[in-house]
Amino acid sequence: MAFQFLHFDLVARSVSKKSQTKRWTVSEVLAEAARLPDACPHVVSPREPALVSGMELPEVERHATAIAGEARDVSGRRLRKDAPILLAGVASYPIPLDRMSESDWQDFRDWEWRTVGWLYEHFGRNVASVVRHEDESHPHVHFFVLPELSRDQTLNIKGIHRGVAARESAKAEGASTKAANRAYCAAMRSVQDDFHRAVGVYHGHLREGPRRKRLTRSAYLADQREAQMRAEMMRKVEIDLLELEKLRIDAVAQDRAHKRASLLDDENKRLRDENEGLERSLKEAHQHVAALSEDKKRFQADAKHSAQVVFNLIGLVVRGDERFRAFLLGAKAPWGLHHEIWGRLRSFLFGNKAPSDGVERSIERQHPPSGHERHRYRGSDPSR
């Protein structure tokens, strides 16, 4: 069952004697992550973790201890030993190691890359370290986040934990303990939603498991198939965006060529009276600049249309808004995509609602392809 797993919590240098639940200290959490002897009895054959990003784990503990030593509580006293000083978390890939194929490993590497990117986007420069484990049932990463010292020397825990920030904000507004806890839970659900949008949706991972949603096995499998299809579509859209970025870079290169041609034009004007041959070159340069300008205009229009198509595809897949559907039903094929492939894609998205061939030709007459589009169609379909 491929559904996402993300969990993080705050840890302290020691555990309060009043604590009624089993909690780990900073040293214990980092020792387990580092696979130190006697620190991970649940692992049959411990293996040294791979450092994915940031500092080594012993350095994390030294930095956390040093910051805690400088920190003060709201009363200006030294920080209690059981006060949280580090955020520790786990993100796990949902396919067991013994069932992973080569394509699964490639998907895992992409998943890890997206996960690390999300961590830095969510926690910023406070991410201290990310390590990978491959010695348990599922491959996973551990991440550690250090809080910063505020101007009053207190630890800014709210800055690294959205749930704590929401709870404390609710309390400051006079909310009851129960209401503050509800704010905490809502904030943590939003973290899970963010992680799913940034990572899980690209890999076909469901936001919640079947027990959480109370689904039958068949309904859950249907959800999973739909998630896989959505992930494939998102990856295709991502590839299209990369192609558009490549085209943008090419446009910048053309603009630079335009500027170089203008410089040459000025130089030719200065030397025109000295050499008739340079005058002819100047005329050709003008024509070349005009052609580049026209190509640039056509490219910008095509790139804008393609970007609108990609944007509306993403909107339709992620949000299902009818505005996106209406745009795509009336849109011509984006540049570089054959009209037959475009028709199949819309048939896949809209079924019987997709325009007929006659409507397609009407759209093409209203929005005729540019010169480079016609050239591309002739190369891919001689019958046109």
Across residues 231-242, what is the average pLDDT? 61
- Is the CATH code 3.40.50.1820 the one for domain 5-155? no
Spell out the residues 6+ positions from residue 11 whose beta carbon is closer than 8 angstroms to its own.
23, 24, 25, 26, 29, 84, 85, 86, 87, 88
Does residue 335 or residue 106 have the better pLDDT? Answer: 106
Strands (E), the chain: 5-12, 50-54, 84-92, 127-133, 140-145
Segment 253-261 shows an average pLDDT of: 75
Q: What is residue 293's predicted lDDT score, i.e. its pLDDT?
A: 85
**What does the pLDDT average to over 62-71?**
95
Percent of the chain with pLDDT over 90: 45
Q: Taking the C-alpha atoms of 148, 153, 154 and 157 in order, what is their torsion angle to the nearest 10 degrees?
A: 0
Q: What is the pLDDT of residue 376?
A: 44
Tell whether the model's pLDDT for residue 60 goes beyond 90.
yes
* Calpha distance 290→297 (Å, rounded): 11
Instruction: Tell me the range of 193-197, 252-256, 306-310, 370-374 where mean pLDDT is highest.
Output: 193-197
The least confident of 63-72, 193-202, 328-337 is 328-337
- Is residue 375 predicted with pLDDT exceeding 80? no
Residue among 194, 60, 53 nearest 118 (CA): 194
Question: Residue 377 — pLDDT band, cuts 50, 70, 90?
Answer: very low
pLDDT at 373 over 50: no
DSSP 109-178: HHHHHHHHHHHHHHHGGGEEEEEEE-SSSS-EEEEEEPPPB-TTS-B-GGGT-HHHHHHHHHHHTT--HH
Q: Is residue 230 within 8 Å of residue 204, measured between CB atoms?
A: yes
- How does residue 380 score in pLDDT terms, banded at 50, 70 and 90? very low
- In DSSP terms, which residues pair with 56 in a beta bridge? none
371-380 and 276-319 are packed helices; what angle lies between their axes, rounded to 10 degrees? 70
Cα–Cα distance between 160 and 162 in angstroms, integer? Answer: 7
3-class secondary structure per residue, 50-78:
EEEEECCHHHHHHHHHHHHHHCECCCCCE
320 to 168, 210, 273, 315, 316: CA distances (angstroms): 35, 23, 65, 7, 4
**Order of strands across the sheet with 50-54?**
5-12, 84-92, 140-145, 127-133, 50-54
Q: Which residues are within 8 A (CB) of 299 and not within 5 positions of it... i.e. 6 or more apart?
A: 247, 251, 254, 372
Range of weakest confidence among 63-72, 74-83, 243-252: 243-252
Among candidate residues 294, 292, 286, 282, the one with its CA nearest the CA of residue 257: 292
The token duo for 302 is: 């095509």
Other beta carbons within 10 Å of 365:
8
Q: Domain limits of the chain? A: 5-155, 233-380
- pLDDT at position 230 is 60
Q: Is 309:346 a contact under the CB 8 Å cutoff?
A: no
Q: What is the sign, positive or negative, of the torsion defined by CA atoms of 88, 93, 95, 100?
A: negative
Our measurement of the distance from residue 291's CA atom to the centroid of its chain's CA atoms, rounded to an integer in Å, reads: 39
CA distance 285 to 258: 10
Predicted pLDDT at 208: 74
29: Cβ–Cβ under 8 A, 6 or more apart, which residues? Answer: 11, 86, 88
pTM for the model stands at 0.57
Average pLDDT estimate for 329-338: 79
How far apart, in whole angstroms, are the C-alpha atoms of residue 100 and residue 307? 36
Determine the pLDDT at residue 329.
79
Give the closest residue to 328 by CA, choosing from 348, 313, 306.
Answer: 313
pLDDT per position as a tens digit, 95-153: 999 999 999 999 999 999 999 999 999 999 999 999 999 999 999 999 999 999 999 99
